[in-house]
Chains A and B, each alone.
Chain A
Amino acid sequence: MDFTLSNEQRSWQMTARKFAEEEIRPISVERDEISDPRETFDWEIIKKGSRLGFRTMAVPKEWGGHGTDFVTQALVMAELAKADSAISKTFSQCWKWSHLIAATCTDEQKRRFLQPFLEDDTYLLGKGISEPSAGSDNRLPPPDDPKAGLKLRAERHGDDWILNGEKCFIANASVGKLFFIDARTDPNAPLKQGTTMFLVPRDTPGFRIGKVFNKSGWRFYQNGEMIFENARVPHANVVGPVNGSDMKTQQAGDRTGGDLFGDLELAANALGVCDDACGMALRLARTKKQGGRLLFEQQVVQLKLNRMHLLTEALRSFVMRVAWEHDHKMHSANPGLCMNFSTDVIQEVSERNLELHADAGVMNARADKLVRDAIIWSHLAGDSVQRMKTTRRLAK
């Protein structure tokens, strides 16, 4: 077993650490505190990060990207998240769909969409699955209810498809330029056999963004509504086979932008938040005094710090192992288990950090932010649903 990083991996990590500390951290709490959810976003930080490669690092080299491996991606996500979880997620959301493009798009589609993505520092990607009445149903479709799941309708008219319906909670909705949209193309078939994925550019006629959701955590990250009113998408934008949206994950293996990367992404992001919480707590304990003595001298404080660090280091081991397994194309339920574990760890570690600050009579807006960001993990896709889905992978 060898945990040594290559020079290239180390170099990405160091660049990310510097960028995170010097550029992201100074704006993190300030962006979080803006009350209008549309105003929390900051294009300058996206452009700066993009110029350093953090937007396009997952695009394969043959298509003009950086072609970084999954270990590097995990390292960078954690470093960026250590400064701001939501800003890190905004970048990695683009990697998720870069993987999807690489895995599932035709060469013609790659030319049409990867090229502008690579050239434009403000070109962000997103994917629309969830709808007001279809959340968990898209992830664990009930076998006894074939009509369950997303309802957005796509009907073929000659060379075009006409889309009608709406999506909600869609990441990067208000800032993205290109979206993968899952739509029902056969309303009578169960979800997996009746859904097709479309590439939908922002300027598609009949397609618009509704409200941006006002979340308690991850405030920088833009989750919005999408409204399709006779939106016209050319047949050339169909990804994979018609009625075969679900095929992507099986065909694509670990190059997918689907669940496998998504699980690693959340776990690596959580790791960065935990690192930040541990750092804050340790700094507090070593500087703040009570009764004339440093907090660190107290047993109850030492025990809490111990708990925070042991959980964080266990998560680090798991995250790096899953990233390494992705690079070696080893398939297992580990990514899901790691993501489930990260939900528990990020919440306990961020809550303990807040507790140490509150116990010391120190109000810290950042400690509060980390707790709010951490709670998001339970609400991304239905916490129990994510866990049961992982378990079903174990039984396959």
Chain B
Amino acid sequence: MYNLQLSPEQLEIRDTVRDFVARDVKPHALRPERLEARTRPLLIDVLDKASQLGLRTLALSEDAGGAGADTLTSAIVTEELALGDPDVAAVLAQTSMLAHLLFDRLMTPEQHARFLPPFLADDRYQLALADLEPDRDGVLGIRYHRPEMSEAGVKTTAVRAGDVWVINGVKDRVANAPLAKLFAVEVSNGANGVSTLLVPSDAPGLSISESDRSSHFHHGACGTLAFQDCRVPLENLIGAEGESPLDGNATRDLPQDQALNLGIGRAAYEAALDYAQLRVQGGRRIVEHQAIGTKLAEVAVRLEVARAAIWQAAWACDHPEAIADRSLPDLPLTRIAKVFASEAIYHATKDAAECFGAMGVMRDMPLQKYAHDALVCLHSGTSNSDTKLHIAEALAGYRRPASAAVLAAE
């Protein structure tokens, strides 16, 4: 049964995070230097506190020492965090999601024993996934509904040399790169296919550089990894050689970015609603004017419909049986939520800013930041144009022949 009634635990987590954001995040997030959308520093102290609250290990199973949160709970927490600060929300969501994926589902017992204790013990131990490369953009675009062309294969290589893998190549647009202490890296084993290796940030031959916000649209901290004869033990392979468990964007179906986007929209909405009840023009509070009332209503409509789409996608991730029994349509629900939410929320933040008149575009006020943050969501990750093409292929039941990728790579 499709059911979005939150459990007492979910409500409690939401209240806890909401209090944390009001008390420990918002006051920092609204400092003048944080309002400079393009150069703002990460709130490291807030990340530490959030980790102590268990938000870094939220989705990690309770057996492994986490909170065992499901996708919907994670989405609720990400929304609340993004209400205070999207960068904090992005860093924690990525680590939490990867913690569940790596520790709960993919690591061998030996890897678990080696990497879990230091991960749990260190509030600043973040995780990252390195799968994108320069010139490997993953764009569908011209390949829409066509089997013959394929993007280039993974160029970063890993070769066995005695008891180590030797890695060479470059990964970019790696979320959490400047903070992560452990990376899951997609590598090519030549004819053997694509594998995933665990690479600690201090591995010899790995250099990490932070990318600034003018390099691509993103929240959180991103960077580039350069591998030059980088060595990791053979035992750092995840899954079988040539069968990367992460290939095919296994992690991209979770609506975390959309939940983050929603938090930004809500921050703008709450600010506008407060202001509209204080500011007097035309002889009355501006909320009492039809023009402003309607604008606020449209903002609320956009946010609530976006939330419905995002929560449905999150709930579907937690209940795959609901698609099997036809309670929910067999459609790419997260992609659908992404297109709707990113456009609706961008408009909502612009409308919210308009309620502030000239103050809505001032850099020392948060409204321009919310609109900019929503614009970043609109253009980060897979573009909406491309997402629509993916949805269209799914609607038509199109499946790209697997052999095409191999043929094109040769």
Contact present for B215 and A363 (CB under 8 Å): yes
User: Across chains A and B, which 8 residue pairs bring their CB atoms closest together, nearest first?
Assistant: A145-B283, A384-B291, A142-B283, A358-B379, A291-B142, A216-B368, A359-B383, A142-B282
Contact present for A376 and B215 (CB under 8 Å): no
CB of A298 within 8 Å of the partner chain: yes
Q: Give the distance in Å from the alpha carbon of A137 to the alpha carbon of B385 in the complex.
A: 42
Q: Note all chain B residues with C-beta closer than 8 A to A297.
A: 142
CB of B292 within 8 Å of the partner chain: yes
Contact partner of A135 among B143, B283, B358, B389, CB < 8 A?
B358
Q: Note all chain A residues with C-beta closer than 8 A to B361.
A: 215-217, 375-376, 379
**Given A137-B282, A148-B283, A363-B214, 4 other A-B residues pairs in contact with their CB atoms under 8 A:** A214-B362, A214-B364, A216-B362, A355-B383
Contact partner of B385 among A134, A359, A385, CB < 8 A?
A359
Count how many chain A residues have C-beta atoms less than 8 Å from C-beta atoms of the other chain: 45
Q: List 20 A-B contacts (CB under 8 A).
A: A35-B36, A134-B281, A136-B282, A168-B358, A215-B361, A216-B37, A217-B361, A291-B141, A291-B142, A291-B149, A298-B141, A354-B379, A359-B139, A359-B385, A359-B386, A363-B217, A371-B375, A375-B353, A384-B295, A388-B291
Query: Whose C-beta in chain A lies nearest to the C-beta of B294?
Result: A384
CB of B354 within 8 Å of the partner chain: yes
When each residue 128-167 of chain B gets 1 if its CB lies under 8 Å from chain A and 0 otherwise, what string results? 0000000001010111000001010000000000000000
Q: Note all chain B residues with C-beta closer than 8 A to A123.
A: none
Q: Give the distance in Å from the alpha carbon of A223 to the alpha carbon of B363 in the complex.
A: 13
Contact present for A135 and B282 (CB under 8 Å): no
Contact present for B283 and A379 (CB under 8 Å): no
Q: Give the distance in Å from the alpha carbon of A366 to the alpha carbon of B379 in the complex.
A: 16
Known contacts A216-B368, A359-B386: A379-B379 contact under CB 8 Å = no
CB of B248 within 8 Å of the partner chain: no
CB of B216 within 8 Å of the partner chain: yes
CB of B357 within 8 Å of the partner chain: yes
CB of B265 within 8 Å of the partner chain: no
Known contacts A137-B281, A358-B217, A379-B353: A216-B363 contact under CB 8 Å = yes
* Min CB gap A396→B, angstroms: 20
Contact partner of A144 among B283, B368, B384, CB < 8 A?
B283
Contact present for B385 and A290 (CB under 8 Å): no
CB of A314 within 8 Å of the partner chain: no
CB of B372 within 8 Å of the partner chain: yes
CB of B360 within 8 Å of the partner chain: yes
CB of A169 within 8 Å of the partner chain: yes
Q: Give the distance in Å from the alpha carbon of A376 to the alpha carbon of B375 in the complex.
A: 16
CB of A306 within 8 Å of the partner chain: no
Q: Give the distance in Å from the alpha carbon of A375 to the alpha carbon of B37 in the complex.
A: 16
Q: Give the distance in Å from the alpha carbon of A214 to the alpha carbon of B32 in the complex.
A: 12
Known contacts A135-B357, A142-B283: A215-B363 contact under CB 8 Å = yes
* Min CB gap B212→A, angstroms: 10
Interface residues of B in 352-406 (CB under 8 A from A): 353-354, 356-358, 360-364, 368, 371-372, 375, 378-379, 383-386, 388-389
* Min CB gap A80→B, angstroms: 21
Count how many chain B residues have C-beta atoms less than 8 Å from C-beta atoms of the other chain: 45
Q: Give the distance in Å from the alpha carbon of A371 to the alpha carbon of B284 in the complex.
A: 32
Q: Give the distance in Å from the alpha carbon of A339 to the alpha carbon of B358 in the complex.
A: 17
Contact present for A355 and B364 (CB under 8 Å): no
Contact present for A290 and B357 (CB under 8 Å): no
Q: Give the distance in Å from the alpha carbon of A100 to the alpha carbon of B149 in the complex.
A: 63
Contact present for A216 and B217 (CB under 8 Å): no
CB of A382 within 8 Å of the partner chain: yes
* Min CB gap B383→A, angstroms: 4
Q: Give the distance in Å from the alpha carbon of A300 to the alpha carbon of B141 in the complex.
A: 9
CB of A112 within 8 Å of the partner chain: no
User: Is chain A's interface secondary structure helix, strand, loop, or mixed overall?
Assistant: mixed
Contact present for B372 and A379 (CB under 8 Å): no
When each residue 195-224 of chain B gets 1 if its CB lies under 8 Å from chain A and 0 otherwise, what string results? 000000000000000000011110000000
Q: Give the distance in Å from the alpha carbon of A70 to the alpha carbon of B388 in the complex.
A: 45
Q: Note all chain A residues with C-beta closer than 8 A to B364.
A: 214
CB of A246 within 8 Å of the partner chain: no
Q: Give the distance in Å from the alpha carbon of A144 to the alpha carbon of B282 in the complex.
A: 8
Q: Which residues of A contact B (CB under 8 A)?
A: 35, 130, 133-137, 140, 142, 144-145, 148, 168-169, 213-217, 223, 290-293, 297-298, 300, 354-355, 358-359, 361, 363, 365, 371, 375-376, 378-380, 382-385, 388
CB of B34 within 8 Å of the partner chain: no
Query: Whose C-beta in chain B lies nearest to the C-beta of A146?
Result: B283
Contact present for A290 and B295 (CB under 8 Å): no
Q: Note all chain A residues with C-beta closer than 8 A to B295.
A: 384
Contact present for A136 and B358 (CB under 8 Å): no
* Min CB gap B143→A, angstroms: 6
Q: Note all chain B residues with C-beta closer than 8 A to A358.
A: 217, 379, 383
CB of B171 within 8 Å of the partner chain: no
Q: Note all chain B residues with C-beta closer than 8 A to A354.
A: 375, 379
Q: Note all chain B residues with C-beta closer than 8 A to A376.
A: 361
* Min CB gap A298→B, angstroms: 6
Query: Whose C-beta in chain B lies nearest to the C-beta of A299?
Result: B144
Q: Give the distance in Å from the alpha carbon of A142 to the alpha carbon of B284 in the complex.
A: 9
Contact present for B281 and A291 (CB under 8 Å): no
Contact present for A290 and B215 (CB under 8 Å): no
Q: Note all chain B residues with C-beta closer than 8 A to A355.
A: 378-379, 383-385
Q: Give the distance in Å from the alpha carbon of A293 to the alpha carbon of B144 in the complex.
A: 13
When each residue 9-45 of chain B gets 1 if its CB lies under 8 Å from chain A and 0 otherwise, what string results? 0000000000000000000000000001100000000
Contact present for A383 and B354 (CB under 8 Å): yes
Contact present for B142 and A293 (CB under 8 Å): yes
* Min CB gap A388→B, angstroms: 7
Query: Whose C-beta in chain B lies nearest to the C-beta of A362?
Result: B216
CB of B350 within 8 Å of the partner chain: yes
Contact present for A135 and B363 (CB under 8 Å): no
Q: Give the distance in Å from the alpha carbon of A73 to the alpha carbon of B73 in the complex.
A: 58
Q: Note all chain A residues with C-beta closer than 8 A to B386.
A: 359
Interface residues of B in 234-288 (CB under 8 A from A): 280-284
Contact present for A292 and B149 (CB under 8 Å): yes
Q: Note all chain B residues with C-beta closer than 8 A to A292.
A: 142, 149
Q: Note all chain A residues with C-beta closer than 8 A to B37.
A: 216
